[in-house]
Structure formats: structure tokens, C-alpha cells
Amino acid sequence: MTRRSLWTAANLAKATGGRASRAFQAHGVSIDTRSLEPGDLFIALDGARDGHEFVAQAMASGAAGVLASRPVDAPHVLVPDTFLALQALGIAARERAAQARRAAITGSVGKTSVTQAVAAGLAGAGRAHASVKSYNNHIGVPLTLARMPADTERAVFEIGMNHADEITPLSGMVRPHVVAITTVGPVHVENFPDGETGVARAKAEIFDGTAQGAVAVLNADNRWVSCLSARARARGLVVRSFGRAEGADARLTDFGVEAGRGVIRGEVDGRPVDLTLSQTGAHWGLNAMAVLLLLEAMDVSQQDGLAALSDFQALPGRGAESLVRSHMGDFTLIDESYNANPISMAATIGSLGVRRAPGRRILALTDMLELGDEATRFHADLARPIADAGIDLVFCAGPLMKSLWDALPSTRRGGYAVEASELAPMISATVGQGDLVMVKGSNGSRAGLVAGALRALDRSAGGAG
């Protein structure tokens, strides 16, 4: 499919205050030659490596031109600072698509899944635009804006943070009409002297840049909901809530798993809502309620929202399931390896606990990171939800997970390894016919390596065994 022109050299120069070397037109925007597509504008950002070093590679890959801070041997727009130019480009894209209704989503857990589910709903309702992957930081947000076509009708952006004062400028760039905080919990607490209180305050920064009359979608079950609601209303936002709590605008009344699909029953503004999902994690019950409220606020019909949720597939590392046909027997792998914190760990452990399987329910866990001084306690405390869920075997990897390993009874101990790379062989030697195996941990502790090694056991896909 032919891509439409997104930026011309003249548009770029006007938006950034730069000077064009000659005319060109770009169909997309890229900051990475590894993912650059023919016809993209390449922005030479300074980072661990100077982006100008990759200009020749970008042009060889088909770039239409370059946004640069020094003359390069390629069609280019010259600016004093490419990062500031990227921000200006994002704001210009927002202003030229003035008709677009924009949503922004943050939260300690679930923001990427909710963002992508909302994106699926928007795509079915008209010309839509959305964040890709987890492009949610000081580079990812303006980049997503810069990629937004002028005729966009609806757009959704993911916004993340590690420290205070990071979300406010990003919210100001997006100027959202709808915002959501999926939940607040002990994530990145090592960067906040006041712990979770600081995290809540930082998440509330998403209200700072909203458009007039914006809607805030908040988690009624979260202990910070009253504080966040007050902050939102003080900013003039209309508050809508989701959760299991009485009085929630979108209330989850039941979640189960039938025939390999999640089954949700709930109410939106008192009217019953029933749907099934490809996702089987119990946290998807609340995610779905949040998505329905967000889509409603984005002028998408509930019928279209329910259809989008029903068709939405789990994202890699965020609950995707696969049948692995190994020489030890066929088992189901649930890949939750993208990231982890105490909230998401407890939720996914609980989800595994309600699953029924012919075999055992097995957990493979790697360290949760960025938890500060209480990291050891947070890991040890996972023994309680594991016991409540009736998990059969637990495999742990990493120095922090040693505290959980020590807290587990011997009957639940599957194996412990210092390195994640050592865990998959232990599991593969133990797993058997009909088992359910869930892998979860932080990116930095290489949980994805464990999930990948277990998938590679699949003989039907040419794996080992």
C-alpha cells in the first residue's frame, strides 16, 4: 500500500524553524535505522551514539531526507537541536490535526495493553493514530505525535515516567481530551523519597496538560482514587471510574475463563455488559472496563468497543498464550515476561490460580526491579498470593527472587537459579503433559529469555526436543 506524504521539506522547516537544503517529502518519521522504512524522515538524535553517524545508513535504507543539526550529505532540514526540533514537529502535527480527539494513558501497570486495546477500538471507528510498542517517554511521545497524519480523527498516546515532573511536559504536548490512570502502585519507588505517594503525585501530572472539558478515567479500586479524583476535578476534568467497587461507572461483576477465553460480566452506567476476550488474565476484566469508558469518551459506540475487545489479541510478553509440543508432553505457555512489579505479579499469579488444567500450574519468575529498599520484602511477600492461588511449582531466578525462594515451602519449590539463562533447562526437565506454565519478571532480569527458551522447545515449530 502506498503511503501518503506526511511531511515536506518546507513543512518541516516551518514547523522546526530550520532551513531546507532542497525539496523532499517524507511518508513517515524514524529515529532508528534498524526500523526505518523507505520514504521515512530520519531524525539524527544525539544519544549513546550520535545519530548523524547513521545518516549514510539511513539513506541507503531509503530515507527521504534527514532532520540534522549539522550539514549532511543528504537532503536535509538543518536545525540547531534535533531533539527540540522533534518536540516542535510533534506540536505542529497536533496543531494541524486540530479536529483529532486525543487520549493519553498512564499507570503503574497495564498502560500499554489498555492503550493498544483502545487503539483497536479507534481503528474501527475512523481515521485513527496510536503509540506503537511502548513509545511513552520524552522521545516516544513527540515521535508519535510527529507521525500523526493531518486527517486523523482520533488518537491515543501512552505516557510513562520514572521520576517526578516527566509526565507534565508530555501531557502538555499531547493536550489530551481524555486521560486515564490505570492504577497506582509501588513501581519506580526507588526514585521517590516519599514512595508510593510520590508515584501517585507523578501519575496525576497527566491532568496538567489536558484540553478544556477533558474526561479522566480512574480506577475505583485503587487506594489513591479519592486523591486522584480530587486533583482531576480541581483541574476541571470530568471523572469517570472503573472497577469492582460499588458506584463505579464501569463495574466489573465477574471474570472467568471458559474454553480458553476470558469471560467478562459487568455494567456500564447500570446497563449490563457481557463479552469474551482472547486474554485469560483476570486483570483484563478491569482493563476491559477502562477501555470501554475511554472509547465512550472518544465518541466510539459501545457496540464497536465490545467488538474490538473481543477481537483484540494479547501483546507479546503481556499474556500471549501458546501450545508448546515438547518431548516431555504438550504444555501451555503464558508469556507475561515483558515487565513486572508487585501489583502485576499478584494479578497474574491470581489469574493462573483460577485456571483449570489437566496438569500442574507452574510459575517461572525473575527479579522485579526498581523497588528500592523494600525490594527484598516485595519479593518474599509473593509467597502469599502463590499460596492463595494454589500454584503447584515455582521456579525462581535472580538475587532478589532468592527471598521468595526462601519463603516458599519445599513442596512448591521447582528450582532456583542465579541467572535467568539457567532457569529454562530446569523447567524443561520438569514440565509435563497438560501443564500451564506462566513466565513473569522485569525486562532487565531477562524474563523474556526464559519464555523464549520454553517456546523453542516446540517440536512442531522446529524447536529442540
What does the DSSP assignment read for 191-203?
G-TTTHHHHHHHH
Q: How confident is the model at residue 463 (pLDDT cuts 50, 70, 90)?
A: very low
Tell me the whole-structure pTM to 2 decimals: 0.84
Question: Using CA atoms, how far apart are residues 292 and 305, in angstroms rounded to an integer?
Answer: 6
Q: How far apart are the first and last CA of the chain?
A: 41
Has residue 1 got a pLDDT over 70?
no
Question: Using CA atoms, how far apart are residues 461 and 451, in angstroms rounded to an integer?
Answer: 15
Q: What is the CATH number of domain 97-311?
A: 3.40.1190.10
Question: Using CA atoms, how far apart are residues 228 and 198, in angstroms rounded to an integer?
Answer: 12
Question: Tens digits of per-residue pLDDT, 407-430?
Answer: 999 999 999 999 999 999 999 999
Q: What is the pLDDT of residue 464?
A: 39
Has residue 114 got a pLDDT over 90?
yes
Give the mean pLDDT of 223-234: 97
CATH classification number, 320-459, choose in 1.20.1070.10, 2.30.30.90, 1.10.10.10, 3.90.190.20: 3.90.190.20
Question: Using CA atoms, how far apart are residues 125 and 286, in angstroms rounded to an integer?
Answer: 23
Q: Are strands 361-366 and 329-336 parallel, antiparallel or unpaired?
A: unpaired
Q: Is 61 helix (H, G, I), strand (E, B) or coil?
A: coil
Q: What is the pLDDT of residue 266?
A: 97
Question: Tens digits of per-residue pLDDT, 250-269?
Answer: 999 999 888 888 999 999 99
Question: Is 7-79 CATH 3.40.47.10?
Answer: no
Question: Tens digits of per-residue pLDDT, 184-215?
Answer: 988 777 788 888 899 999 999 999 999 999 99
Asked if 240 contacts 289 with a C-beta cutoff of 8 angstroms, the reply is: no
Question: Tens digits of per-residue pLDDT, 291-319?
Answer: 999 999 999 999 999 999 999 987 778 88
Strands (E), 140-294: 154-158, 178-181, 215-219, 238-243, 250-258, 261-268, 271-277
To 10 degrees, what angle do helices 302-311 and 111-123 make?
A: 120
Domain boundaries, the chain: 7-79, 97-311, 320-459
